[in-house]
Amino acid sequence: MLEIKDLNVWYGGIHAVKDASMSIKRGEIVTLIGANGAGKSSTIRSIAGLVKGAKGAVTYTARDGERVSLLGRPPEVMVKLGISLSPEGRRILPQLTVEENLVLGAYSRSDGDGISRDMEYGYALFPRLKERRNQKGGTLSGGEQQMLAVARALMSHPDLLMLDEPSLGLAPILVSEVFEVIREINREGRTILLVEQNAFAALKIAHKAYVLEVGNITLEGTGADLLENPKVKEAYLGG
């Protein structure tokens, strides 16, 4: 579904991603783990069209089989292609209500029925959002904001859902709740690219995983393999 070949990204003069290659198959959960500043966000942000001047080849195969080169296209085109990013730090629009945040997520669509179906789907995944639908986004707790960010990213009805650090700043109990939902979303047929510092939680649910270290992909394998890998254990799983 997504082929990344020799991706290079520069971020404020720093060569943040160096010749990274990855591949994501339809229906998988793929995770990209690594320390702070390893280039995870730069990778995912260049797929979403937020980074200017990324080099390499990122080829996306849409649902109808059409192959599209992604680099250099603006985010609104990515959304139309079926790619959606829930950004790091959740980035809820604090002055808009929960429902308005969701409506905004469906901005690229005009199928009213589909939009309300997806909104109900989001509310079913996170019932707490439904209770707070008329509350301003800024009044939600961190966990609720993360739920809203995921639900909002689903509102464009993406084929590929990208999540940037969904566990950031969440209590452990909420982390497992959010990851359970990610798994659930995947079971319904959506491909997921998950960027995480919480390697343990991410590897547990991932079909495939890549380890990024100072801009280089140093390891790849199935989630289960990497969980057992001694290097990964030492560096990311606390020995």
Partner 1 sequence: MNLNLFMQHFINALGLGSLYGLIAIGYTMVYGILRLINFAHGDIFMLGAYFVFFATIQYKLPWALGLAIAVVGATLCGLLVDRIAYRPLRDAPRISALISAIGVSFFIENISIVIFSGMPRPVVQPPSLMQAFSLGGVRLVPLALMVPAISFVLVAALLWMVYRTKPGLAMRSISYDIETTRLMGVSVDRIIALTFAIGSALAAVAGIMWALRYPRVEPLMGIMPGFKAFIAAVFGGIGSIPGAMLGGLSLGFVEIMSVAFFPNLSGFKDAFAFILLIAILLIKPTGLMGEKLEDKI
The residue among 137 and 143 lying less far from partner 1, judged by its C-beta, is 137
Q: How far apart are CA 214 and CA 53, in angstroms?
A: 19
CA angle 203, 208, 212 (to 5 degrees): 75
| 33 token code pair | 């783990």
Where does this chain bind partner 1 (CB under 8 A)?
48-50, 74-76, 79-80, 84-85, 87, 91, 93-96, 100, 103-105, 107-108, 152, 156
CB 96, min distance to partner 1, A = 7
CB 108, min distance to partner 1, A = 3
The residue among 107 and 171 lying less far from partner 1, judged by its C-beta, is 107
CB 61, min distance to partner 1, A = 20
CB 146, min distance to partner 1, A = 14
CB 136, min distance to partner 1, A = 11
Beta-carbon count within 10 A of 81 CB: 21
What ranges make up the beta strands (E) of 100-215? 160-164, 191-196, 208-213
The residue among 13 and 239 lying less far from partner 1, judged by its C-beta, is 13
- Closest CA relative to residue 91, chosen from 133, 152, 135, 38: 152
Q: How far apart are CA 213 and CA 194, in angstroms?
A: 16
- Closest CA relative to residue 159, chosen from 105, 83, 106: 83
The residue among 55 and 109 lying less far from partner 1, judged by its C-beta, is 109
Question: Beta strand pairing status for 29-34 and 83-86?
Answer: unpaired
Q: How far apart are CA 44 and CA 66, in angstroms?
A: 21
The residue among 129 and 217 lying less far from partner 1, judged by its C-beta, is 129
The residue among 90 and 208 lying less far from partner 1, judged by its C-beta, is 90
